[in-house]
Amino acid sequence: MKEKILRIIEKNSRITTEELAIMLGAAREEVETALAEMETDKIICGYPTLIDWDKLSGEKITALIEVKVTPQRGQGFDRIAERIFKFDEVETVYLMSGGFDLTVIIRGKSMREVAGFVSAKLAPMEAVLSTATHFVLKRYKENGIVMQNDEQDERMIVSP
Amino acid sequence: MRDPLNKKIVGIKPSGIRKFFDVVSEMKDAISLGVGEPDFETPWHIREEGIYSLEKGRTYYSSNAGIKELRIEICKYLKRRFDLEYDPLKEILVTIGGSEAIDMALRVMLEEGDEVILPQPSYVSYEPCVVMAGGKPVILELKEENEFKLTRRDLLAAITDKTKILILPFPNNPTGSVMSKQELAEIVDVIIEKDIFVLSDEIYAELTYGEKHVSIASFPGMKERTIVINGFSKSYAMTGWRLGYAAGPEVIIRQILKLHQFAIMCAPTTSQYAAVEALKNGDQDVAMMCEAYDGRRRFLIHELRRMGLSCFEARGAFYVFPCIKSLGMTSEEFATALLNEEKVAVVPGTAFGDCGEGFLRISYAYSIDKIKVALERIERFINAHR
């Protein structure tokens, strides 16, 4: 039940609980309880909107930064990760396996702003050993959604 | 000049859907709930396998019956999903969609004047195929009060000394009706006792909501008198690849193969390689699509009932078949007026047989957002005509 709800709202979080209940053949209360539980358990962490900022005039810049850090005794990477993700500019932080430790995705108004953040805030942190900043040129697909999707329904309008 | 045409062919009336299509295609911005194919694209890994086969230069004819690897995978699939056992070398033929298999099977089995019991409402091809094969279609009306299932009683009433084949179209297009194991069990002994053959069109077998599809060929004594028709169009969203198959007793398959060899040669090779991938790694895709259809199905039935239309609980394919008799219009009048006034295309039930009068076929092979918009318009239309 919960997984079925998630598979529907993952694509469309604006669907009403009543519609969800009809689609799943369940009572509305049942759906509401399941949603509330998943919110409490942080299985559902929010209902954000996927926006293509590039379509607006004051466009934003996204950068993906590979960060190498020194893990701290007793806390591993969590403490340094927290110090980084608390910045409002930071959109995403992942702990990685492989050649570097953290992926930090930040969004800024301009390349200068992003560079300023890296040089003034991120790189000087004591635990940070090195950074490598990659700017995003074009977003094709995000969260399973193709950004520039203007595909039409090409099926014949009626068929047997 | 002499008449260049064959009278039998000329006498076959064109598909009711075709007629309606010509009207709809004039209308530019219509919303359609009229299609008989999935809205999903073929899963990418399947398409990619088709592309790869082209890259590898596999652009030749395949063996007439289909590539061996595909026939083996089909047999594994039929065993895994429906507990059917077939010999990939002798009892499977890969065809151009399920439609070719239907046509060929009828041509191979019917003698002039043999009767074929044809339950309707059902898919538009059966009747003309029976006629072209020299058979005589005996229409059996499926009734709403039986949820459009074939009952033992109706079957017995339709059988004569000349009956040779029963066409069994479940899960059904256009009604969405399915037949359970129990309901099939009730007709199996009649079929065996009366020595009838069955053409079981199971193209929608993967799309059932609730109980799993049961093939009539899985009953003892039925495999030797059943041709199972299936394919990739509906379950794997592969309509344009044109790929289906027939599974049945060697004596029949061998003759179909002969016809197929002369008329078709072989099914498209690219499609066959893609289909191998579908059968090997496509179960998850099918489950995902089936779950999505199920949600839309519930939503559609709920909304139509809320509008005051009687609509039986369809548990198969991707159609619902609401009754519009309460509005005092024929199916065709309703569909035409709905198109003109609200620009929503649905298919009149009569396209699937005269007994479809009073019903509409509404397809839910559309996104839930599209279905919602169409339903708003349908509701406005109904309120205006009540």
- The answer to the question of residue A48 being in a domain is no
Residues B305 and A22: their CA atoms lie apart, in Å, by 12
Beta strands in chain A (DSSP E): 61-69, 90-95, 102-108, 128-135, 141-142, 145-146
User: For chain B, which residues lie within 8 Å of any Cβ of chain A, measuring from their own Cβ?
Assistant: 15, 17, 20-21, 24-25, 30, 32, 34-37, 39, 123-125, 173, 291, 294-296, 298-299, 302-303, 345, 347, 351, 368-369
Residues A35 and A57 placed together within one structural domain of the fold: no
Is it the case that residue B101 has pLDDT exceeding 90? yes
CA-based nearest distance A27→chain B, Å: 13
Residue B19: what pLDDT? 74
Q: Cβ contacts (< 8 Å) between B37 and chain A: which residues?
A: 155, 159
Q: How far is CA B115 from the centre of its chain?
A: 21
**Mean per-residue pLDDT for A37-51?**
93
Query: Residue B174 corresponds to which tokens in the numbers above?
Result: 């256009």
Residue A142: what pLDDT? 86
- The answer to the question of residue A61 being in a domain is yes
Residue B277: what pLDDT? 98
Helices (H), A25-76: 28-40
CA-based nearest distance A5→chain B, Å: 10
**Is the backbone peptide bond immediately before B220 cis, with ω within 30 degrees of 0?**
no
Q: What's the pLDDT band for B24 if we cut at 50, 70, 90?
A: confident
For residue A129, what is the domain's CATH number?
3.30.70.920
CA dihedral sign of residues B342, B348, B349, B354:
positive
From the list A23, A157, A160, the residue facing B30 with the nearest CB is A157
Residues A128 and A99 placed together within one structural domain of the fold: yes
Q: What's the pLDDT band for B23 if we cut at 50, 70, 90?
A: confident
Q: Cβ contacts (< 8 Å) between B127 and chain A: which residues?
A: none
Residues B141 and B249: their CA atoms lie apart, in Å, by 29
- The answer to the question of residue A158 being in a domain is no
Nearest CA in chain B to A1: B291
User: Considering only CA atoms, which of A84, A65, A86, A63 is closest in space to residue A130?
Assistant: A65
**Interchain CB distance below 8 Å, A157 and B32:** yes
| Residues ≥6 apart with Cβ < 8 Å to B7 | none
Residues A32 and A79 placed together within one structural domain of the fold: no
pLDDT per residue over B283-326, tens digit each? 999 999 999 999 999 999 999 999 999 999 999 999 999 999 99
Which residue shows structure tokens 């509409």? B360
The domain B58-281 is placed in CATH, from the list 3.40.50.880, 3.40.50.300, 3.65.10.10, 3.40.640.10, at: 3.40.640.10
Residues A34 and A59 placed together within one structural domain of the fold: no
Residue A50: what pLDDT? 87
Q: What's the pLDDT band for B30 if we cut at 50, 70, 90?
A: confident
User: Considering only CA atoms, which of B234, B236, B259, B231 is closest in space to residue B97?
Assistant: B231
Is it the case that residue A149 has pLDDT exceeding 90? no
Domain that holds residue A33: 2-40
Residue A74: what pLDDT? 80
Q: B333's torsion region: left (phi>0), alpha (psi -120 to 50) or beta? A: alpha
Residues A57 and A112 placed together within one structural domain of the fold: yes
Residues B169 and B200: their CA atoms lie apart, in Å, by 6
Helix (H) or strand (E) holding B141: strand B136-141
ipTM entry: 0.82
Residue B216: what pLDDT? 98
Angle between helices B68-82 and B269-281 (to 10 degrees): 40
Nearest CA in chain B to A153: B39
Is it the case that residue A35 has pLDDT exceeding 90? yes
**Mean per-residue pLDDT for A22-32?**
95
Residue B370: what pLDDT? 94
- The answer to the question of residue A33 being in a domain is yes
Residue B211: what pLDDT? 92
pLDDT per residue over B180-214, tens digit each? 999 999 999 999 999 999 999 999 999 999 999 99
pLDDT per residue over B33-63, tens digit each? 999 999 999 999 999 999 999 999 999 999 9
Residues B343 and B27: their CA atoms lie apart, in Å, by 8
Residues B191 and A22: their CA atoms lie apart, in Å, by 40
Residues A30 and A68 placed together within one structural domain of the fold: no
Is it the case that residue B368 has pLDDT exceeding 90? yes
**Mean per-residue pLDDT for A87-115?**
93
Residue A52: what pLDDT? 84
- Please give the C-alpha separations between residue B138 and each of B141, B154, B162, B172, B239, in angstroms, as whole numbers: 10, 12, 11, 18, 29
Q: Cβ contacts (< 8 Å) between B125 and chain A: which residues?
A: 160
- The answer to the question of residue A93 being in a domain is yes
pLDDT per residue over B241-278, tens digit each? 999 999 999 999 999 999 999 999 999 999 999 999 99
CA-based nearest distance B77→chain A, Å: 26
Question: What's the CATH code, domain B7-42+284-385?
Answer: 3.90.1150.10
Residues A61 and A102 placed together within one structural domain of the fold: yes
Residue A95: what pLDDT? 96
Residue B28: what pLDDT? 76
A5, A7, A157, A158: best to mutate for the B interface, most B CBs within 10 A: A158
Residue B47: what pLDDT? 97
Q: Cβ contacts (< 8 Å) between B20 and chain A: which residues?
A: 158
CA-based nearest distance B288→chain A, Å: 9
Angle between helices B331-342 and B16-24 (to 10 degrees): 20
- The count of structural domains within chain A is 2
**pTM, to two decimals:** 0.91
Q: How many residues does chain A have?
A: 160
